[in-house]
Amino acid sequence: MNVIGLIVKGLTGCPVVADELRHEDSRTRSPSDTSTSGPPQPVNHEPVRAAQQNSYSGLETAAASAAVRRRLASILRAADSTQQRRLARVSTELAQTDTELLCERAHSQHLAHERQEVAERERSLSRQVDVAVMVIAALREQLNASENELERREREVITIQKFLEAAARQETCGKVRIQCFIENLLRRIALAERLVEYYQVNGSPPQCNHYRQHQQPTDTGPHRITKSRSAGGPLSSAGFHDNRTRSSSQFSGCQLFSQAGEKREREHRERLAQSSRLFCRPEHRDDIWNHQRRPSAGYEA
């Protein structure tokens, strides 16, 4: 009450509040008071005035107090409503700020997570690039090694092809030489058989000089062996076999007067005939050829 009284006293000094208090006092007065009051009597009005002033001051104080209370209530209500509005606005703004802060924090966390993922992906890609570079280098080395191996194989194939061509040419030449050797051998066998038959029919001992005069000249002598040696080619054993055949024929011709010589000549002829028959067979041709080349190799040595 002291506080309200002080507030009322402070407000009564204000002209606006004084007018409001007078207006309230006029409204609170009853009409009976105004109607009963007549014209002033010519009496002593000092005590009445003092009482009226006291009553007026009390009423004025009560009205002022009520007005002040109402005014304070309205001011408080206005202040409360204003504060409530401001508080609601501040709360809304605070909630929005909190929401924005949470969003920004979530966004920053998301960005940090994405940054970490990007860094991990970058490291993974760098490792993959390093591995790919090493694999490419290894594949390049393997490719170079494969190219070198391929070139070496190609050179080997070319060398083998040349060797096979040379072997085919030598085989062809060898076949021709073998054929010539066989033909020459068969001719000499036939000649030896005719000579044996001739000597058997005539019964005269053969002479070595006479056989040398009737012998046909051939190119299969030592000169041919020397020529084949000088040419650098394989040594032909045809001349050596021709010489052996000729020497054996001469020896048999010189010894036909004895029975042992005839027997030896017959065995030699049979052996030559058997050799010629076996030579015509492919399974015995290589063996006979090797057997015939052994004496020629000894002759060369």
- Residue-range domain boundaries for the chain: 171-300
Q: Which two tokens stand for residue 17?
A: 């509040």
Whole-angstrom distance, CA of residue 134 vs CA of residue 127: 11
Give yes or no for residue 43 having a pLDDT over 70. no
Determine if the pTM surpasses 0.75. Answer: no
Gyration radius from the chain CA atoms: 77
pLDDT beyond 50 at 176: yes
- Asked if pLDDT for residue 226 goes beyond 50, the answer is no
> In the predicted model, what is the mean pLDDT of residues 8-32?
48
Of residues 268 and 253, more confidently modeled: 268
The three-class DSSP label of residue 183 is helix
> Which has more confidence, 179 or 11?
179
DSSP state string for 22-59: HHHHHHHS-HHHHHH--SPPSS--HHHHHHHHHHHHHH
Residue 1: helix, strand or coil by DSSP? coil
* Segment of 140-144, 197-201, 234-238, 296-300 carrying the highest mean pLDDT: 140-144
- Residue 22: what pLDDT? 54
pLDDT confidence of residue 167: 93
- Average pLDDT over the chain reads 69
pLDDT in tens, 75-87: 888 888 888 888 8
Cα distance between residue 127 and residue 118, in whole Å: 14
Exposure string (b/e) for 71-87, b if CB count within 10 Å is 16 or more? eeeeeeeeeeeeeeeee
